Amino acid sequence: MNDEIFYSLADFACSAVMLVCACWLLTDQSLRRLVRTGHALIAAGMLVNILGLLADYFHYKGIEYGHVWPGEVIGNFGTAVLMVTWLRRSLEKKRL
């Protein structure tokens, strides 16, 4: 598999996880407004990232997203893990 394809797919997967987690955490009323604003910004950023990756993959109107750097994927993976952990804590808190 080509490195560029691997990094693009990994970036897409991490961005999708972060988008879902951020949207879910955005609805958690027990979090402060500033934290929910941060989740809204993460969700918006990940949506743009996903749309850019899809536009590049399908060559929509000649859009080229550019090379996804390994550091970006590692950063997104770490953030995705944190978001999933935060989501799990939020769900456990609601069950109690």
Half-sphere exposure of 60 (CA within 13 A, CB side): 9
pLDDT at residue number 61: 87
* 33 has a pLDDT exceeding 70: yes
Q: Which of 8-12, 25-29, 53-57, 64-68 has the lowest average pLDDT?
A: 64-68
Residue 1 has pLDDT above 70, yes or no: no
C-alpha to C-alpha distance for 28 and 47, rounded to whole angstroms: 20
- Is the Cα dihedral 63, 67, 73, 76 positive or negative? negative
pLDDT score at 17: 94
Q: Are 28 and 83 in contact (CB under 8 A)?
A: no
pLDDT at 96: 66
pLDDT of amino acid 15? 93
